[in-house]
Amino acid sequence: MLLSRVREERSLQAAGTRQRATPNGCATISRVKNRGPAGLDSASASAVEEEATKPEKMIVCIAVVGHQNNPLYIQSFTEADDALKLHHIVHCSLDVVDERVNNPKKSGPLLNETFLGLLYPTENYKVYGYLTNTKVKFILVTTDLDVKDADVRNFFRRFHAAYVDAVSNPFHVPGKKITSRTFAERVSTIVKAFGLSSAG
């Protein structure tokens, strides 16, 4: 049964473009799920859910990590309850950042640039990094698998500006988590703008 569903999906994706396939794909899956037996094992169910969110191009998680690898701000933007998974991805990326910074030869011409580029791709996500002069790391996790570097650069530039404004608040204690509501609002605006620019 699973096989037939996958085949159905494939044909759908082949028929339309990626964006157009999204609503169709979701509809199909939910229909199939309703029709399916109650004893559907959980592994395949979660796989189906992943399939459903995959084609959507968006930032799913953004994190600010201090110079001692202390989390300053971490926010996920998904409906699903996968915060733990995203936090894990962010956590893993910190090692990649350290590696990039300590072996600058590998990164070649991009020596000491704040934008670190793609840290690592996973099956469903791409993880980008940015390291400021003050050794604060920004980590971006996106489901958009063919995102342009320029878009990500632009995103980080705007995000950095928002971060600087947040830490310039006299009530912010350096090294503590950023709790400003204004910052959170500004970040979600930037994240939404990123989704629009890369989808269009």
Partner 1 sequence: MLVVSGSSSSSQSAQRERERERERMGREVSESCVDSLLTEMVSSYCNRFYADKPDLAARRIEAIGYQVGHQLSERYTMERPRFSDHLEAIKFICKDFWSEVFKKQIDNLKTNHRGTFVLQDNRFRWLSRMSTDPSLETGQEGDSKATEAMSMHLYFPCGIIRGALSNLGIPCAVSADISSLPACSFVVRIKA
Contact set with partner 1 (CB under 8 A): 67, 111-114, 131-135, 160-161, 164, 167-168, 170, 174
- Choose among 53, 127, 58: nearest CA to 91: 127
Buried-exposed string 127-158: b where 16+ CB fall within 10 A, e elsewhere: bbbbbeeeebbbbbbbbbeebeeeebbebbeb
Q: Is 171 exposed, middle or buried (0-12, 13-18, 19+ CB in 10 A)?
A: exposed
Closer CB to partner 1, residue 34 or residue 168? Answer: 168
State in angstroms the smallest separation of the CB of 188 from partner 1.
20
Amino acid at 153: R
Closer CB to partner 1, residue 39 or residue 174? Answer: 174
Closer CB to partner 1, residue 74 or residue 131? Answer: 131
State in angstroms the smallest separation of the CB of 114 from partner 1.
6
State in angstroms the smallest separation of the CB of 193 from partner 1.
16
Closer CB to partner 1, residue 161 or residue 193? Answer: 161
